[in-house]
Amino acid sequence: MAVLRIVWGALGALAIAAGAQARPLEFDDIAREGELRLLAERPDPHAYGYESRVRIDDDSLRTGVVRVETCHLRLDPNARVVVLFNRDRVESIRITQAQGVERAWVENHRVELAGVERGATVCIELRSRALDPMGDGRWRLHAGPLMRRYLDGFLPMEAELKVVWPPGLLQVAATDPPPQPGVKLSAGIGGAILHVTFAGRLTATWELQRPAVAR
């Protein structure tokens, strides 16, 4: 997956509860630079979240190119947000949805957002050389870094990373981070979902392999 980063300015929303059942965030909820906290329970469950769907097929295994659909949900209010993609991997970028945003546009390897309202949604579609061969019928898929920056730290967020492929083409050998409190993995014959709740800068990887009967 393309490397993705969201750059936030000062939000001025630290002490605002995100929903009726959420408590106001405190400074202890902020991860410091270089720190990654995996959270079994999110303190602001109705705030910003990220979703992605990566589509892998037989051509992807040969070329390393995958199709990616991403959505940024319940965005924080901000005058400017920049979504950066890895210039060495991304092949095309297209904005498919922008709600609650005054202006959204693609510039080189990034998406620029201006006048972002609280609760805004932006979805982006791209093609990326994100699948690296490891040999012996194995591949590594990259996601991140993902973050929700606040001044010099990072607020809690959720990321749902979904990978889909034709049934029986692949299976999950491992993920980083692996399943644990704050990290949930569900997998089937046609794909898998990694759900991560965290504060900090997250870089995730999937290790995928052909099932034994398909080798």
Q: 50-62: per-residue pLDDT in tens?
A: 999 999 999 999 9
Prediction pTM value? 0.84
Does residue 20 lie within any of the structural domains? no
Does residue 49 lie within any of the structural domains? yes
Encode pLDDT of 132-152 as tens digits.
Answer: 999 999 999 998 888 888 778
Angle at 138 between CA 174 and CA 179, to 5 degrees: 5
Tokens linked to 64: 């390393």
**CATH of residue 69:** 2.60.40
What is the residue-averaged pLDDT of the chain?
A: 85
Does residue 24 lie within any of the structural domains? no
Does residue 25 lie within any of the structural domains? no
> What does residue 108 show for φ and ψ, rounded to 5 degrees?
55, -120
How many structural domains comprise the chain? Answer: 1
Q: Name residues of the chain where pLDDT drops below 70.
A: 1-24, 213-215
Does residue 179 lie within any of the structural domains? yes
Tokens linked to 190: 């046609």
Are the C-beta atoms of 159 and 195 separated by less than 8 Å?
A: yes
Please give the helix or strand (H or E) that residue 200 lies within, else none.
Answer: strand 191-200
Q: 């509860």: which residue's tokens? A: 17
Does residue 34 lie within any of the structural domains? no
Does residue 165 lie within any of the structural domains? yes
Which range of residues forms the domain containing residue 144? 4-8+41-214
Does residue 27 lie within any of the structural domains? no
